[in-house]
Amino acid sequence: MTIYLPIAELSVNILIILGMGAAVGFLSGMFGVGGGFLITPLLIFYNIPPVVAVATGANQVVASSISGAITHFRRGTIDIKLGTVLLCGGLLGATLGVWLFSFLRRAGQLDLVISLLYVVLLGSVGSLMLWESVRAMRKAAKNQATSLRRPGQHNWVHGLPLKMRFKKSKIYLSVIPVAALGFCIGILTSVMGVGGGFIMVPAMIYLLRIPTNVVVGTSLFQIVFVSAYTVIVQASTNYTVDIVLAFVLMIAGVIGAQYGVRVGQKLRGEQLRALLALLVLAVGIRLAIELVIPPKDIYSVVSAGFGF
């Protein structure tokens, strides 16, 4: 069963796309991540032009993050003020990111940069997560209490000026690192088609020392808006959002996520993190291999109307 993707301008097997969406949805529900970092590489492996994969991936992230964001909003676990500062940085970052995206595309280096960014980010985040979760599992085996957050500790970040009080998070923090974090994540969203939760959550916990209870909700708040903004800007400047592809992925994704959540609840936190780390590393390694092995053809042809 094939379906024609009007923007990607090719026919694909709808069952493969549905399967991809469901599998990533399942994993994202299980691990509580947006899944953008999985969907975009998978689409690229399936020969969807990277330009379309990235823009469409951002659209899928909106769908997979919105329900989580709403749930957190109802529970009151979003620090709107902190989220808004993050968002300001995020929107600026996304704008620069889309510009960078167009520039790299014209220069013929977009695919390389996307792959390199994925390899570096997935590799480092995956390794850190794996190391941390293995340590946590060892401690758990010795019956020691584990905590993700070491409260009361301060680092250089807390010495920066322009401090602002975030009541919900109960912290007094400079807006510079917050906006800078949002800015970096915004660039990643528009260049890589990821929500960036897998980087933002650890950064907020370890670097900014924001209380864990508001971290996930606030990061989802920022992700929803920055991804939505990215989709609109990508659609307006590069015309690369494939709504048919996005819709098929979303439908399969949100259903898969519901089942993933159920499985995720049965697993322990550190086991879940170790599994996620392995998954992140696997995707990173797969992309790294692609960069290193000699390509089937060292030449490629790109038509001006549509840069692959």
Partner 1 sequence: MTHLARIALAALTLAFAAPAGAQMQDENANDFTEKLEIGISTDEIAITSDFRGADLTIFGAVDGFDPNLLVQGKYNIIVSLEGPKDNATVRKKERVFGIWVNTSSMTFELVPESYSLSSTRDIETIAPPGEMGNMGIGVDHMRLVPLGFVGDGSNLGEFRNAFRRIRETSGVYERDPGGVQFISSSLFKASVRLPANVPNGVHVVRAYLFRDGTFVAAKALPLRVVKTGVEQVITQTAHQQPFFYGLFAVLLAVITGWGASLLFRKE
Site residues, partner 1 (CB under 8 A):
2-4, 6-7, 9-11, 59-60, 62-67, 70-71, 108-109, 112, 116, 228, 231-237, 239, 241, 243-244, 246-247, 250-251, 254-255, 257-258, 291-292, 294-295, 297-305
Determine how β-strand 171-174 pairs with β-strand 163-166: antiparallel
Amino acid at 155: N
Tell me the CB-side half-sphere exposure of residue 233, using CA atoms within 13 A.
Answer: 26
Residue 299 beta carbon to partner 1: minimum distance, rounded to whole angstroms: 4
Complex with partner 1: residue 117 or 205, whichever CB lies closer: 117
Residue 112 beta carbon to partner 1: minimum distance, rounded to whole angstroms: 6
Complex with partner 1: residue 59 or 133, whichever CB lies closer: 59
Distance CA 285, CA 9 (A): 29
Residue 171 beta carbon to partner 1: minimum distance, rounded to whole angstroms: 30
- The closest of 222, 238, 200, 223 to 100, measured between CA atoms, is 238
Complex with partner 1: residue 58 or 179, whichever CB lies closer: 58
Residue 111 beta carbon to partner 1: minimum distance, rounded to whole angstroms: 8
Distance CA 33, CA 265 (A): 14
Contact predicate 301/49, CB 8 Å: no
Q: Distances from the Cα of 74 to the Cαs of 48, 63, 70, 282, 298, in angstroms?
A: 37, 18, 6, 35, 53
Complex with partner 1: residue 93 or 177, whichever CB lies closer: 93
Determine how β-strand 10-13 pairs with β-strand 163-166: unpaired
Residue 235 beta carbon to partner 1: minimum distance, rounded to whole angstroms: 3
Residue 24 beta carbon to partner 1: minimum distance, rounded to whole angstroms: 14
Residue 124, classified by CB atoms within 10 Å of its CB into exposed (0-12), middle (13-18) or buried (19+), is: middle
Complex with partner 1: residue 106 or 135, whichever CB lies closer: 106
Complex with partner 1: residue 42 or 277, whichever CB lies closer: 42
